[in-house]
Amino acid sequence: MDRTERFYKIDQMIHDRRLVPFVDLMAALEVSRATLKRDLEYMRNRLNAPIVWDRDAGGYRFDTPHPDGGAQYELPGLWFNSGEVHALLTMQHLLTDLDPGGILTPHIQPLIARLNSLLGSANNTAEEIRRRVLIVGLGRRNLKLAHFEKVGAALLRRKRLAITYFARGNGQTTEREVSPQRLVYYRDNWYLDAWCHLRGSLRNFALDSLQHANVIERKAREVSRRTMDEALGPGYGIFSGRNLQRAQLRFTAERARWVAQETWHPKQKGRFAADGSWLLEFPYADHRELIMDIMKFGADVEVLAPDDLRRRVAREAAKMTQIYAAAPTKPGSVPANKFA
C-alpha cells in the first residue's frame, strides 16, 4: 500500500472507530513506527487533518473543529494512489497544452496544487512531468481566446452568436447569426457545430476563422443529437454530411503494419488480404480532407472505390508528378505511384 492509500486508511479507521490505538494503525497499515509517525505528521501539517493523540483514552481521534478554526480538513470523495495522481497531472499537462492562452489555468491550478501536495513533491512534480512529456501539435492554427470564451459562453448558456466568418474554402467573409450546438476538438484545432440562421441548416465553423464573435441575448435554436449526428457525424473527419459514399482503400503490406492499427472512422471495416495488404472501407461525405490523407501515403495506397474518388486522387497525383518533374531532379524524390 502506498502513502496516499495509507492516508485514506487512517482517515477511514478513525472515522469508523472514533478512537484508534497506535499499534492498531501500525498493524492495519503494515508499516513501521517511524513511517506511521511521518504519515500522521504529514496529514496534520499538509492536509490539515485534525488528528490528535488522546493520552487518557490511549488512541488517536479527530479533534472537535472550532467554528472559527483555520483551514478545513477535507479528503476528496475519490482518493487516488500515486499512479493515478501522476496520470491526473499528466492530463493537466495535456489540458495546459490545449489551452496555451490560459483560459483553464486559473480553474485547474488549485487541483494541481492539491495533487502535488498528495505526492509530497509540491516543488517539482508538475515541472518534472512537463519536462518528461512532450506534446507535439502539428497543423495547429492560432485561435483568439476571446472568441473561444464567447463561443463557450453562448454554447453553455444556450444563446445565439453573431459572428463574422472567413470561409477559407471560397475566400469569402460573411456576417452570420448562429445557434451553437457543440464544440469539437479535431486534429489540434477547435470547431463549432452550429445551426446557421443565414443558411438555414447545420454548419461547421473553424474557430480560428472567426473574425468577430458576440453573444446575442436570444435563445439558441435546439437541434437534436440524432439530427446532428445524421448531418455532421457519420462522414469522414470534419467534412461530413448526409450524402455518404464508401471509400475503399488498399495499403501495401509494408504500410499495413501501421495503418491496420489506425482509426480513420468509427464505422470503418478493415481486413488483411492474402498478400498482406490492408483493405480499409469507411463512409465519407466530402472528398477534400480524405484526399489529403490518402495523398500522404504516396505509392503505398491505392483507391479501389468509388470511381469518383479514384479519379480525383489520380488527378492530384498527376499534378504532383508535374510539379516534381518541373523541379530540379533529386535521386529518389519521386516514387512510382499507384493512383491511376
Where residue 306 falls among pLDDT bands split at 50, 70, 90? very high
Long-range (24+ apart) CB contacts under 8 A made by 82-89 are 82/2, 82/3, 82/4, 82/119, 85/4, 85/115, 85/118, 85/119, 86/119, 86/129, 88/115, 89/115, 89/116, 89/119, 89/125, 89/126, 89/129
Per-residue pLDDT at 237: 77
Q: What percent of the chain has pLDDT over 90?
A: 50
Give me the residue label for grid cell 456576417.
175
Q: Which of 147, 149, 145, 162 is nearest to 220 (CA)?
A: 162
Per-residue pLDDT at 94: 67
Indicate the residue type of 234: P
More confident residue, 133 or 211: 211
Domain ranges of the chain: 3-62, 87-132, 145-232, 245-326
Strand partners, 192: 183, 205
CATH 3.30.360 is the classification of domain 145-232: no
CB-based contact 8:82 (threshold 8 Å): no
Least confident of 91-100, 129-138, 166-175, 260-269: 91-100
CB-based contact 24:13 (threshold 8 Å): yes
Q: Which of 72, 68, 52 is nearest to 60 (CA)?
A: 52
Q: Which CATH architecture has domain 3-62?
A: Orthogonal Bundle (1.10)
Per-residue pLDDT at 110: 67
Per-residue pLDDT at 337: 43
More confident residue, 106 or 283: 283
Check whether 69 has a pLDDT greater than 50. Answer: no
Q: What is the chain's mean pLDDT, rounded?
A: 82
Check whether 98 has a pLDDT greater than 80. Answer: no
CB-based contact 209:159 (threshold 8 Å): no
Distance CA 153, CA 327 (A): 50
The stretch 193-215 carries a mean pLDDT of 95
Sign of CA dihedral 323, 324, 325, 326: positive
pTM for this prediction: 0.63
Three-state SS letters, 147-165: HHHHHHHHHHHCEEEEEEE
Per-residue pLDDT at 326: 77
Which secondary structure element, helix H or strand E, spans residue 183, and what is its range?
strand 172-186
3-state DSSP assignment of residue 130: helix
The residues, any chain, with a CB within 8 Å of residue 171's CB and separated by 6 or more, are: none
Distance CA 248, CA 118 (A): 51
Q: Which CATH architecture has domain 245-326?
A: 2-Layer Sandwich (3.30)
Where residue 101 falls among pLDDT bands split at 50, 70, 90? low
Q: What is the pLDDT of residues 134-177, one digit of tens each?
A: 667 677 788 887 898 899 999 999 999 999 999 988 899 999 99
And the C-alpha cell for 64?
Answer: 472537535
Check whether 14 has a pLDDT greater than 70. Answer: yes
Three-state SS letters, 11-36: HHHHHHHCCECHHHHHHHHCCCHHHH
